[in-house]
Structure 1
Amino acid sequence: MLHTLRRVLTPLALARLAVGWLGVVVLALLSGPLTPPVPVLPLVLALAVIVGVILFASTGVVAQAEHLAHRLGDPYGSLVLTLSIVMIEVVLICAVMLGPGGHATIARDSVTAVAMIILNLVIGLCLLVGGIAHGDLRHRRTGVSSYLAMLVVLCTLAFALPPVVGEGGAFLPWQEIPVVAVTLGCYAFFLWRQTGAQAGDFMDVAPRVGATRVSSAPGSQLSGSQVSAGAAGAAVPAPASDDDDAATRPPLAAVLHEHRNELLSRLVVLVVTVLPVVLLSHDMATLLDDGLGRTGAPSAVAGVLIAAIVFLPESLTSLRAARNGEIQRVSNLCHGALVSTVGLTVPAVLVIGMITGQTVVLAESPVNLVLLGVTLALSVLTFGAPRVTAVHGMAHLVLFVAYGLAVFS
């Protein structure tokens, strides 16, 4: 057990814990001077420090989640990582809602920003980097299709339905309970299938050992030693199909039994590391509201900043996976994170609104609704293909630029 703790509590992990909790203590001592309105220089410095501490602590959460992901394997590992990140994002949004001032649209702005950042910026960069480094990349279309089907339904329920059946862009009080129930039920059913009967649809694509095909077409492109082998009609590895099994892994129950101490230790460290983020988020939300109010920035900017801060560590993880050619892992991280974000954030803010009496405006503007619809349609086209390419990535990046123009217009 001591050996396991030494492996889990590395100097960097201890540093993240120390910095996170030290930030909480310091801000508690400075609560008086940092009560809005705060002078510009102290406001900027305080926000910079808080954001830095949150990012540093968040990387600790992601690091522990990545170790769990490596030990458990996909889709369980990616699920642990995405739920850890989404938990931070939900906490930040809820902290803003419970802070001073009016934040009727913060959930809508944040979730839309998350959707556009993940589906266009992060996935676009991943496809571009992976496509340039490895050429066309294969994924499991059934699994990605499940993600996208969930996103189409949940985004429609959250953003397109309120202006039609609600009032003032918000659901009526009697409508909120069934929306919460349906959203959570749909997400729970998805998780049940993802981690159960359909787990194989979310595993990395791996070529079947021993599968071959003869390349004799006049236009076949072979390189190096394959040229001579191809000329003689030699067999070359066949591309994997959607039904190919991923690398063989031991059963989950066996992994849990064998590595029980390590998994429990990392889970405890993950929770203790995320707590400072939860506590610091309230202070960040208060100061951010004060700062944006002075600059006259669009209200959606707060949502974009929250999304960018929270998903930076996971974005870097996705880019590393793309650089290694692991496009299915990119999908599990990005699409899985977005499904969890919509499936958990919308019910959370609606419940907070019901408890506190706040109006939660979810209806999107026509421009953002069009951009979100086009993004989902492009995602279906991109991942509906047998292979994804760098060209697909560039198309997603262009849509993100369009979203940026809409936010600051």
Structure 2
Amino acid sequence: MSKVFWLEQRFKINLPAWTVIAPVLAFVLLAIHLVAHPTGALVYSLTAVGLIGAVFSAVHHAEVIAHKVGEPFGTLVLAVAVTIIEVALIVVLMSSSSPEDRAVLARDTVYSAVMIVCNAIVGLCLLTGGLRNYIQGFELEGVKKAVSVLLILALMVFMLPNFTTSLSGGSMLNSQLIFLAVCCLVMYGAFLFTQTIRHRNYFVTELETQSHHSDNMLTIALSGGLLLVGLVTVVGLAKMLSPLIESTLVAMGLPKVVLGIIIAGLVLLPESIAAVKAAYNDQLQNSLNLALGSALASISLTIPVIAIYGVVTGNELILGLSPKDDMMLMVTLLLLMNTLSTGKSTFLQGVMHLVMFATFIFFSIVP
């Protein structure tokens, strides 16, 4: 695979040429969108190509960093980076939405992200890894702790608002929002301390503990910068495509919640590809670290920011799900607890999660 010749010769930077060129070109395309606001079929086609290039380059740079810093820090880099940019995207979209759409945008996006992670990404990882490697093992203690924290956060954020009596319709008082935000940050902080310091061995396999990478610091620094550029570009280009997607959905008579699913799916593409690739290479622990870490970060980092946004601006926020989505979330969490309860996985578990994801998509389109 060709390298960027002058970077390799002068600085010993070991990166394929396309991983440098793709995010730069995609970023230029985003800048053109922001300055000139072009439209047309060709423009949207180039935007989609740029988005795909940015996604694949972001995955590569995340893997370079992950190999260098080791697990579980490597998977944490991509999960947190994507989530921070996802939060920024939600805030930007909320500022330009109608009051009705603004009230549910954060809920729909984060809920969609959790369902995509827990069903689509986990399902694809288990299916791909099971078909390729027959039976795969993972560190049960670490996965159980991640699922337990995810269970608490999901129930507090999406179900508790439906049972409070101060306000109706899934809304919460400012004091309740602030309390919820603090709980999210405390739980996520405790999980990160457990994952990276106190019980790091619960989240890595013996092989991953012994692995190392030989790339120099210049390569790592460049990968870090290009990862950030790639992630910003993914979110930016996804936002540029959202009007076309929304108008298409309206023309097809589909509910607006589908837009949140599509945007969440686009933002989660880098993590999805990285997780499935790790499972294919018999590194299921990496896949689960990335998938579950993404779901945790999506809730724990998004909800506090959105809560502060709601308190400061005075905009109504609806976090409580509908009864149908409550049931879908509970089934997903129960399925996740069951399929990851033994420390081993087969392709059958992946099929179950993918069927659940298909059910989520179908009943979002046909409620």
Once residues 353 and 135 of structure 1 are traced to their aligned partners in structure 2, the CA distance between those partners, rounded to angstroms, is 48
Out of 25, 39, 44, which is 2:31 matched to?
Answer: 25
Q: Deviations over 1:137-163 (max 9, x none)?
A: 111110001110111011011100111
1:213-362 equivalent positions in 2, closer than 5 A: 247-248=209-210, 259-362=216-319
CA distance in 1, matches of 2:193, 2:216: 23
Is 1:169–2:170 an aligned residue pair? Answer: yes
- Which of 7, 14, 21 is residue 20 of structure 2 equivalent to? 14
> Which has the larger helix fraction?
2
User: Judging changes above 3 Å, is the alpha-carbon distance between structure 1 residues 13 and 125 closer, same or farther for their aligned structure 2 residues?
Assistant: closer
- Tell me the equivalent position of 1:243: none
Which residue of the partner structure matches residue 78 of structure 1?
Answer: 75
Structure 1: 5+ residue stretches without partners: 35-41, 207-245
Larger gyration radius, structure 1 or structure 2: 1
2:89 paired residue number = 92
Contact kept? 2:71, 2:209, Cα under 8 Å:
no
Q: Which residue of structure 2 aligns with residue 186 of structure 1?
A: 187
- Tell which deviates more after alignment, 308-317 or 4-13: 4-13
Identity %, equivalent residues: 29
Hey, what's the Cα distance between the residues in 2 that align with 1:64 and 1:333?
A: 15
Task: For 2:97 and 2:121, locate their aligned partners in 1 and report how far apart those are by CA, in whole Å.
Answer: 32
Q: Name the CA distance, whole Å, in 1 between partners of 2:319 and 2:48.
A: 26
Calculate the aligned-residue CA RMSD, in Å: 2.7
Q: CA deviation at 1:293?
A: 4.3
8 Å CA contact 2:123–2:349 kept in 1: the answer is yes
Partner of 2:200: 199
Alignment of 1:154 with 2:116, yes or no, is no
Q: Cα deviations across residues 39-62 of structure 1 (Å, max 9, x unaligned)?
A: xxx3x6655543443332233222
Q: Does 1:407 align with 2:364?
A: yes
The one of 44, 56, 60 aligned to 2:57:
60
How far off its partner does 1:274 sit? 3.4
After TM superposition, the structure 1 = structure 2 runs for residues 364-383 of structure 1, keeping only pairs within 5 Å, are: 364-383=321-340
For residues 301 and 62 of structure 2, what CA distance do their matches in structure 1 show? 19
Does the Cα contact within 8 Å between 1:138 and 1:205 map onto a contact in 2? no
CA distance in 2, matches of 1:76, 1:170: 36
Mapped partners of 1:336, 1:402: distance in 2 = 23
> What secondary structure is seen at the aligned counterpart in 2 of 1:18?
helix
| In structure 1, C-alpha distance between the alignment counterparts of 2:244 and 2:92, rounded to whole Å | 12
TM norm structure 2:
0.87
1:121 aligns with 2:120: yes
Offset, 1:382: 1.0
More off after superposition, 287-296 vs 182-191 = 287-296
Letter in structure 2 aligned against 1:397 = L
Residue pair 2:80, 2:294 contacting (<8 A) in 1 also: yes
Q: Secondary structure of the equivalent of 1:170?
A: coil
Are the structure 2 counterparts of residues 21 and 319 from structure 1 closer, same or farther at C-alpha, using a change threshold of 3 Å?
closer
Aligned-pair CA distance for 1:343: 1.0
In the alignment, what sits opposite 2:3?
none
Q: Equivalent residue of 1:364, what SS?
A: coil
